[in-house]
Structure 1
Amino acid sequence: MALASPTEERNPRTHELDTLDAPELVDTILAEDARVAGAVQAVSAPIARLVDLCVEAVAGGSTVHYVGAGTSGRLGVLDAVELLPTYSATEQMVTAHLAGGIAAMTRAVEGAEDDADAGAALVAEQCGEGDVVIGLAASGRTPFVRGSLAAARERGLSTGLVAANPQAPLARLADVAVLVDVGPEAVTGSTRMKAATAQKLVLNALSTATMVRLGTTFQNLMIDVRPTNAKLVARTVRMLVQATGESPERAAEVLEEAGGRVRVALVALLAHADVTDAEVAAVRFGKDPGRRGDPAGIRSAVASLTTKESP
């Protein structure tokens, strides 16, 4: 059985880990963590290529599927579910599949990660034409992920892999492989540490860049945020103030006139236009990842109103 993987090697910097007191332990662990950001930055190019695949899929009405087991799979679920309140993304856009099912989020499901057939069945049952399947596996060899990627390739679907093993065996099944070289863990084989931190950074960059390219932000503001609680409602008003320089009172007033639709309120405030006209312009210049420099369409909508373009 081939077990070679950087995450399973002993870390020479932490051989005497158990002899350290609490301050030394924390410093040593954090010193290892500090290496992760640079390792992820080194693979920015393949992350960007994976972004392009995801944008193309979602813009075409297809779905991005994260597939993983254990810590890797749980981080995929976390990333996918957080896209709903942040960008109003649906499961039709990005969804996650965890070996062993949703119950595996809180407790281990024995043998689930070793079931390649279950991974293949997942793709057969839940993936459609044009979808992208992204395997998440710290070791780069998980059988459940292998089954999914192999099945996706057989169907001609685009595939990706995120792993913490530069020599990941599953890379051959991926159109784009993001292989982060984080080196051995502070505690040998504990991939919930540096490998997991690297995956979180990769997924943050991947999903955020994808959503921005899909037109869910104006500048660096989350204009598609779903205001499901008091904090997010206040953030929505504050965002309009930040984007337009208007007073909180005026921003709240226009947002109410716009029926809570942030895009419409934003166009109205920036163009100093009537909400009805702003709505027409916002619809005319809807989200389009192919519109360079303005995927959200906000700048184009405002320009159409301020230059007296006829809709």
Structure 2
Amino acid sequence: MSDIINNQRRLDPQDSLVVLSGCGTSGRLAFFMASGFNRELQRLNYAPVCSYVIAGGDRALFSSQEAPEDDPTLGALCLKKVSEGKKRVLFVGVSCGLSAPFVAGQLDFCLRHPDVYIPVLVGFNPAHQARKEPIPGCTLTFHSVVTRMEELAKTQKAFLINPALGPEAISGSSRMKGGSATKILLEVVFSASFSRTGILQHMRSYEKALDFTYSHSEEIAALMEAAGRSLQCGRQVCYLGWGSLGLLGLIDASECKPTFGADIRGFVSGGYKELGNNEGDLTLMGPEFSISHDDFLDGVLPRLTDADTVLLLYSHSGETSAPSRSGRLRTESACVLTAFVFSSRQREFSTKLLLNAVSTGAHIFKGKVFKNYMIDLQVTNSKLYRRAARLLQKLSGHSESECEEALLKAIYQVDKLSEDIATCSLETHTHTAAKAKKVVPLALVCLLTGCSMKEVESRLEQQPIIREAVETCLKSS
């Protein structure tokens, strides 16, 4: 694969392209790495040849856009559009669980056009565990796509990179191990394609970065607690970053709402100019799309108190004036202000580990994790709907049908399912769930206590920390 990338960058950029694509975390990392690879190619006096696709378009860089993840046709159309006119395209689709229909549609499109596309699948499950459920509206399954790719991989007409990582520390949160492994794998492959340094040596540099980061575990733990206290009392956690570290702050912050049902905000110096995304400035789409330091200084800073936490993220190289430029923050804010300065070669990887630890730990303090599961996840697409149903089975011990019934009752806020609700499509269920709150906690407590939906809702409202609310309800049942 490194050899193919090496050949791609030597071809006329008018004819060749490398496309990175994914959904959610994987799509955000596709954007981040495509941008980084292009900068590195330009530094080496090569034309940029990388592009990215993310399910839901650029708004998915900052907010949850799960519905497009279920659409394989949309995935294929997006790939076709970005690679139009190219004679040779290396497509890298990332799906940590080998499950995203959006990516399956893109891989299938590549397999049907082998004269132009070389497909690469990156994921972290064994091939036989790829999702076998039929994708609504087409005859594909992710498993059938993987099976075809495995056969073509024997002649290097396709590539499957799928080391098994084992379970995530927080079940289902692929933004952590899955996201980090995606970054390592693709950066190592791309680096090896234009460097004489061996792959093993590249890998060892990440190991050093890992050791360096966790040698500061006490400081990271203290920061987790500070951020957790801010979230517990309904205050804010903000990342204020410069350069690529600021972009990683944006990515980590954008993942908190769909994962935990809570907000952390990220801001980057230069805003959309620094971001360099396909669709340009998205500020007019809403407050969550305001990402520049000016947006922070004008819209957030005046409301900060000593109960808020702000992290400054910058490196020694090229950003030495970052602290002085944040002078207004230092003089006007009473918030908990922490600066992390990175100087190692793998500062991006260290930053990702730090931010994942802080945001995950803070939400654990807030009570958003119950028995190592994300208890308040948003049920906004088929993947998350099925994850919620499996979670209810795991925690309640009830049957699959009972858990799905409880999930639907929580989504529609009813004690008895009507025939209309029971016969609605999965798309209708997830669309309705996107507007509901505490869907999984409501369903779980209803299953285990037999209480009415209104009674459970009242109990949960009395305790703002969801983990403790669930535990209290279960003890009193």
Q: Given the two structures, how large is their TM-score scaled by the length of structure 1?
A: 0.70
Structure 2's unaligned 5+ residue stretches are 1-190, 278-291, 412-432, 434-438
1:164–1:195 contact (8 Å) kept in structure 2: yes
Q: Cα offset for 1:233?
A: 1.0
Contact 2:271 2:293 in 1 (8 A): no
* 1:236 aligns to 2:414 (yes or no): no
Percentage of matched positions with identical amino acids: 23
C-alpha contact 2:310 2:338 (8 A) present in aligned 1: yes
Superposition deviation, residue 281 in structure 1: 2.5
| Higher relative contact order, chain-length normalized (CA < 8 Å, sep 6+) | 1
Give the corresponding residue for 1:133: 310
- Provide Cα deviations, 1:214-248, integer angstroms capped at 9, x if missing partner: 11121111121112211111111111111112111
Whether the aligned pair in 2 keeps the contact of 1:267 and 1:282 (CA below 8 Å) is no
Contact 2:270/2:293 (8 A) holds in 1:
no
What is the correspondence of 1:54-69 to structure 2 with a 5 Å cutoff?
54-69=227-242
Task: Please give the alpha-carbon distance, in whole angstroms, between the structure 1 residues aligned to 2:350 and 2:204.
Answer: 14
What is the 5 A alignment of 1:7-46?
Answer: 25-46=198-219
Match of 1:146 among 305, 318, 323: 323
What letter corresponds to residue 160 of structure 1 in structure 2?
Answer: T
**1:266, distance to aligned residue in structure 2 (A):** 1.0
SS of match in other structure, 1:137: strand
Counterparts in 2 of 1:230 and 1:150: CA distance versus 1, 3 Å:
same
Match of 1:123 in 2: 297
Counterpart CA distance in 1 for 2:237 and 2:385 is 29
Task: Tell me the number of residue pairs that the alignment of Structure 1 and Structure 2 aligns.
Answer: 244
Q: For residue 115 of structure 1, what is the aligned residue in structure 2?
A: none
TM-score calculated relative to the size of structure 2: 0.47
Q: Which residue of 1 aligns with 2:356?
A: 204
Aligned alpha-carbon RMSD (Å) = 2.9
CA shift at 1:103, angstroms?
Answer: 3.5
Q: Is the 8 A contact 1:119 1:148 kept in 2?
A: no
Query: Whole-Å Cα distance in 2 between the matches of residues 228 and 80 of structure 1?
Result: 18
Runs of 4+ in 1 over 6 A off after TM superposition: 18-23
Rounded to whole Å, the distance in 1 between the matches of 2:259 and 2:275 is 21
Among 247, 262, 267, which residue is 2:445 paired with?
Answer: 267
Over 3 Å counting, the alpha-carbon distance change for 1:145 and 1:88 in structure 2 is: farther
1:110-158 C-alpha deviation (Å, 9 max, x unpaired) = xxxxxxxx95884354212323221111228835631464333322222
Query: 1:149-188 residue pairs with structure 2 within 5 A?
Result: 149-155=326-332, 156-165=334-343, 183=344, 185=345
User: Do the aligned partners of residues 157 and 149 (structure 1) sit closer, same or farther apart at CA in structure 2, a change above 3 Å counting?
Assistant: farther
Distance 2:195 2:352 in 1: 26
Q: What is the alpha-carbon distance in structure 2 between the residues aligned to residue 227 and residue 122 of structure 1?
A: 30
CA offsets per residue over residues 140-196 of structure 1, 9 Å max, x none? 88356314643333222220122224xxxxxxxxxxxxxxxxx4x3xxxxxxxx110
Q: Higher mean Cα deviation, 64-73 or 274-283? A: 274-283
* 2:472 is the counterpart of 1:297: no
After TM superposition, give the deviation of residue 19 of structure 1 in Å: 11
* One-letter amino acid of the structure 1 residue matched with residue 274 of structure 2: A
Q: 1:229 to 1:79 in 2, by over 3 A?
A: same
1:105 aligns with one of 269, 272, 275: 275
